[in-house]
Amino acid sequence: MQDDAIKPIRKLSQLYAYTSIHMHETVARKAGLSGTDHKYLGFLIQKGQMTAGELAQLTGLTTGAVTGLIDRFEKKKLVKRQFAEDDRRKVLIVPDTKKIMALMEPLYKEFRRKSEQLIASFSSRQLKVIENYFLKAIEIMQETTNQLNEK
Q: Return residues touching its own copies (CB under 8 A).
A: 1-2, 5-6, 8-10, 12-13, 15-24, 26-27, 30, 39, 107, 110-111, 114-116, 118-124, 126-127, 129-131, 133-138, 140-145, 147-149, 151
Is there binding between residue 48 and DNA (CB under 7 A)?
no
Query: Of 25, 34, 45, 97, which one interacts with DNA (CB under 7 A)?
Result: 34
**CB atoms closer than 10 angstroms to residue 141:** 11
Is there binding between residue 75 and DNA (CB under 7 A)?
no
- Strands 91-95 and 50-51 come out as antiparallel
Query: Of 8, 46, 60, 123, which one interacts with DNA (CB under 7 A)?
Result: 60
Residue 69's alpha-carbon distances to 15, 26, 93, 121, in angstroms, are 30, 19, 11, 40
* Angle formed at CA 87 by CA 82 and CA 92, multiple of 5 degrees: 25
**Binding-site partner at residue 90 among DNA, its own copies, none, CB < 5 to 8 Å by type:** DNA
Q: How far apart are CA 141 and CA 19, in angstroms?
A: 18
Q: How far apart are CA 25 and CA 2, in angstroms?
A: 36
Q: Which of residues 77-136 bind DNA (CB under 7 A)?
A: 81, 87-91
Q: How far is the CB of 50 from DNA (least distance, A)?
A: 8
